[in-house]
Structure 1
Amino acid sequence: MAGTLLVPPSGIPLERLVQMAMERGYTAQGEMFSVADMGRLAQEALGCQAELLCGGLGGPNRDHVLRHLVTGHPLLIPYDEDFNHEPCQRRGCKAHWAVSAGVLLGVQHVPGLSYAEDPDLPGLFHPAPGMPHQPPSLPEEGSPGAVYLLSKQGKSWHYQLWDYDQVRDSNLQLTDFSPTRAADGREYVVPAGGVRAGLCGQALLLRPQDSSPKPAAALNQGTGPQPQPGSVTV
């Protein structure tokens, strides 16, 4: 999923990715409990740059993550998946991966003329193609409902808008290996230190080897109704 968002997009089949991961000892059943291993796999298989982020998605890492998404590059995030694929907190027992492909920012003013208003959703602005873009001002951490990640989980057919703080909190509490998996008699590759050491507070920022800025932020001006998941083009 992340490979299709890189430039040039990766055409490597999923089966080949799993085979490579198994050959290198990263996985036994297709599971991936190490962000570091996922980064190594991405670099080799997709030919991209992979930056391992530690310390969670908040604090000083927050602006770094948002600016990465604004440039148009994908973010891989381990998190606990709820029944509707959205982030929840199950201490890692429902740990899955998601890819974020863009960001929706709630702002008071649209920065310059390089953003075009969506024809169907008043108050929603996209970067205008072919124009230089002034990066938008990032809302301060703790602003309610100000930042949403355009994200997708592999079992879902659609992208969804996830509140940034919910993603941050879900990613930061991945500590335990699922008792169901521990009791199913199958072999899994879990790094030294367990799920906490392999996933907790970590994410992966992917960039093309020869990356160039490509803004991908959608701006929602004012405090009107939020767009529904799947309705935003980024």
Structure 2
Amino acid sequence: MSMEVKTKENSSQMSSEDCNQCHNEWSQESSNGSNDDKTKNDSNFEISSNACTKYWNYFTKDLEEEDIVMISLYNNVDNVLQSGPKCGLVALLMCQSLVLNHNSYLTQEDLFESAKQMGFSKTGEMFSVENMAKLTHRLLSVETEIKVNLNERINELVSHLAKGLPVLVPYDSDANHEPTLLGGQRAHWAIILGFCIIVNKSNINNIDLCGIRDQYNHQLYHLKPKHLLTKCVLDIIDNRKYKKILVYAKQGKSKYLHIWSFNRLCQSNCNLVKTSLKLNKSDIVLPENGGIIKGLNNQCLFVTKNAIVDSRQ
């Protein structure tokens, strides 16, 4: 499966004036922003910097390292470890701080009880993206959108994440929790929290104006989650200037932040065709007339913050 995006016709390159505008508006927002916002951004930068540094050699081993840079955007959430097979519910749980305007958060048990009452789960499993969307809408009072063919939606993914919003993706989990291809026998859920684009520095106009250079890794640039700044990134994607696209992810079996190949995640998402032989079909809820293929295969969930009134307020 290719992770390349079709180039838009007549797609213009990002001009230095556009980058300057991004930088000026960003600077103005930074000077007017609260100390809490600055602290949050600094924390996000530090977390993503540590992760990129840890995996730098792994993701750049086949590239000319001198000329490449990473453009990173990350939205942090607290880790939540799952109790039992509640990976999907835990991924949803981690969404709350990004999409809710209050701190009255639900617990893992709250989500589990609701999923059982709605007939979506028996032991915590969630084998349907559609049911996950309904559960999210009911409990968090926010909108969701089911997307297919994620590998063809890099622009949408980047734009969504740049607004500080999460994406929930089912995939096959390897022993180290990375995406793998086991036909769905280790189906798992992850929350996608950001992206990291590897690109030749020579292909970018004014990178110093469109991102903050990391204080330790000078080949790493951080973007704040503001939609204006994604113009620089979308130019790279529209014109296929990138070498690799990575995503930041968390999931319920580890307390660590992951960086995965976007291409590999899409392949894993599309290989979900059967459940584990160890599972007793009577102990789980599967979509009728299609099972895991109908429920999870080639699907993900974009979670959106909106103005719906929270019934719990």
- Normalising by structure 2, we get a TM-score of 0.61
The number of aligned residues is 207
Structure with the bigger percentage of helix = 2
Relative to structure 1, the CA distance from residue 138 to residue 172 in structure 2 (aligned partners, 3 Å threshold; closer, same or farther) is farther
Contact 1:33/1:195, CA 8 A, preserved across alignment: yes
Relative to structure 1, the CA distance from residue 46 to residue 179 in structure 2 (aligned partners, 3 Å threshold; closer, same or farther) is same
SS of 2:302's equivalent in the other structure is strand
Structure with the bigger percentage of strand = 1
Deviations 1:90-146 (A, max 9, x none): 100000000010011123325562421111211211125889535213436988851
Q: Please say if 1:67 is aligned against 2:159.
A: yes
2:301 to 186, 204, 217: 204
* Offset, 1:160: 0.7
Between the two proteins, what is the percent identity of the paired residues? 29
Relative to structure 1, the CA distance from residue 118 to residue 82 in structure 2 (aligned partners, 3 Å threshold; closer, same or farther) is same
Q: Please say if 1:28 is aligned against 2:125.
A: no
Name 1:147's counterpart in structure 2. Answer: 245
Find the aligned partners of 2:303 and 2:227 in 1 and give their Cα distance: 24
Name 1:38's counterpart in structure 2. Answer: 132
Relative to structure 1, the CA distance from residue 46 to residue 140 in structure 2 (aligned partners, 3 Å threshold; closer, same or farther) is same
Name 2:258's counterpart in structure 1. Answer: 160
Relative to structure 1, the CA distance from residue 145 to residue 166 in structure 2 (aligned partners, 3 Å threshold; closer, same or farther) is farther
Name 1:98's counterpart in structure 2. Answer: 190
The one-letter code sitting in structure 1 at the alignment partner of 2:118 is: R
Of structures 1 and 2, the larger Rg is shown by 2
SS of 2:278's equivalent in the other structure is helix
Q: Which ranges in structure 1 are unaligned for 5 or more consecutive residues?
A: 212-234
Contact 2:172/2:179, CA 8 A, preserved across alignment: yes
2:110 to 16, 19, 27: 16
1:3 to 96, 117, 138: 96
Name 2:211's counterpart in structure 1. Answer: 115
Q: Which moved more, 1:138-147 or 1:116-125?
A: 138-147
- Normalising by structure 1, we get a TM-score of 0.80
Root-mean-square deviation over aligned CA pairs: 2.5
Relative to structure 1, the CA distance from residue 143 to residue 134 in structure 2 (aligned partners, 3 Å threshold; closer, same or farther) is closer
* Offset, 1:68: 1.3
Contact 1:3/1:9, CA 8 A, preserved across alignment: no
Name 1:179's counterpart in structure 2. Answer: 277
Find the aligned partners of 2:157 and 2:226 in 1 and give their Cα distance: 24
